[in-house]
Structure 1
């Protein structure tokens, strides 16, 4: 059975962003951090981990949803607390997302990963709301 278009697009977007983040962190971020001052370099490391946290949380959530679609997991089980999106305290924090001391590439990843995470938060809330109505 083919997954709904919204799911395929979101999955593809997440995977593409994960690859981009991996490439950025493996190549560009390290050089940029070495050129940055101590405080900015530390901030870059923290914010790179925030990007990673957002993307891994979203991908884990999408994999559970994919399992539901494939009939491997019941929809109610997928919305159980242990399978829900987590890490909101870290992932929704945008305190330094616009910090002009951070490199453009990292700021772009921060903005796009936050937008993606927020979209999944809203989608999950809608799904939980529908489940509670039934």
Structure 2
């Protein structure tokens, strides 16, 4: 609970998370993965793909589309929450906009014929994107419950002592 004046309000997990160091690190890691993937697909990946046999070439094309789509959705989610963090929108507005973002797409890659021939760097990017997607899905589930979720903290002895000190200070100053 958060004390505002004389009343207590539930602590918004979404608001607290959007301003946290954890979110900042997730944002940086996600955007770095987007940049790495774009550089790979335009450079080393393009060269490696041209040398693949037909089955591997089809898997590469399919997985590169899935990878870029996944990363676009994740980047959209991250940018949405950065906007909340920077005060450009409220968590309620973000909840309304998040329905446009698809975090529920398949998490597994096509690991059939041709998969083993794919470049290791490409497979590593896929695995990292899937890991990021799982992490974002868990955070998203914690943030939103029918559009908005709050985390109510159980009262702790420290919190009650701090509240008592604050009350005593306010009585003495006031």
Q: Same fold (TM over 0.5)?
A: yes
1:19-58 equivalences under 5 Å are 19-58=35-74
Calculate the aligned-residue CA RMSD, in Å. 2.5
TM-score computed with the length of structure 2 as normaliser: 0.67
Bigger relative CO (Cα 8 Å, ≥ 6 apart): 2
Q: Greater Rg, structure 1 or structure 2?
A: 2
Gaps of 5+ in 2: 1-17, 152-174
Structure 1 residues 32 and 22 mapped into 2: Cα distance closer, same or farther (>3 Å)?
same
Tell me if 1:129 matches 2:145.
Answer: yes
**Count of residues in Structure 1 that have an aligned counterpart in Structure 2:** 131
If each structure's helix is expressed as a fraction of its own residues, which one has the higher value? Answer: 1
Distance 1:63 1:48 in 2: 22
Q: 1:75 aligns with which of 77, 91, 103?
A: 91
| Cα offsets for 1:17-60 (capped at 9, x unmatched) | 11111111111111111111112112101111222112111111
Q: Which residue pairs with 2:82 in the alignment? A: 66
- Displacement of 1:96 in angstroms is 2.7
- Displacement of 1:95 in angstroms is 3.2
